[in-house]
Structure 1
């Protein structure tokens, strides 16, 4: 297997298996957006509850932050090395945490799948009940709010949808911004 990192100017760069796609920055400008503060109640299931809130909003996509809160149980993934030269890294088995888990931060994206249904994507950092640090891709359908509310801040966009599309360079399906009409 070929090495997937190279050192250039003292900085380690990852080499993806597919052809380079430059520039990597994809963006769209929007004329307006809507800010939303969401407070999920203790005991609620995060993915289901967040989708329920968003059901009442007019938007195509959203980005946001986990401001504070806790979970009584959650699952997250971290990247692991594979033996596949075309996709040398993939999500590993879920890590499950129970007991009070305190969120440090998190970045949330609400995109759309191929059929246009909302798709939640979140990376977060947290502390377990022993104070150990954890972080990775949250499985929001497996996160249950703990004894204090989970507070999120979202920015909703009407005319841009983050749609799942294959990415030839990374060999992953990524969220790409696409101009759309509001739903």
Structure 2
């Protein structure tokens, strides 16, 4: 019997809450053409979910004409897609580890606003990579120059340079 009375109470509360909620969001307004009051239901505001950093990078890549998957791999290599300052004492910063001198040059060149933001660092890194691709003709050369300042032939690479360059299969990006 106690179970039945609890069930009836729960159902009653549910019914009352549904009934009461049907009145929420109603607003009275006067129709300016007829001077009569009308009831309307307010539209719920839909807030868009903010873009993730990878979605922002994808948008910038599309805008710049740079393969997103290449930028994704570079970001994994440089920072594992963490907005960080270089830990070895350099001035590299951001997901794509852009140095200050490069950042400020491209910041001005691209007419960016807002200072050192994560999105600005991405935009600078991606457009700088595109510039290097235009300069050197391949994504492999652009990637090496991005990390080392300029292109050098592979036989001159250090062990570390060979290691970070092997992490990307450039045949996916540099078609013969």
Q: Give the alignment's TM-score, normalised by structure 1.
A: 0.20
Larger radius of gyration: 2
- Higher relative contact order structure (alpha carbons within 8 Å, sequence separation ≥ 6): 1
What is the TM-score when the length of structure 2 is the normalising length?
Answer: 0.20
Which structure is higher in helix share? Answer: 2
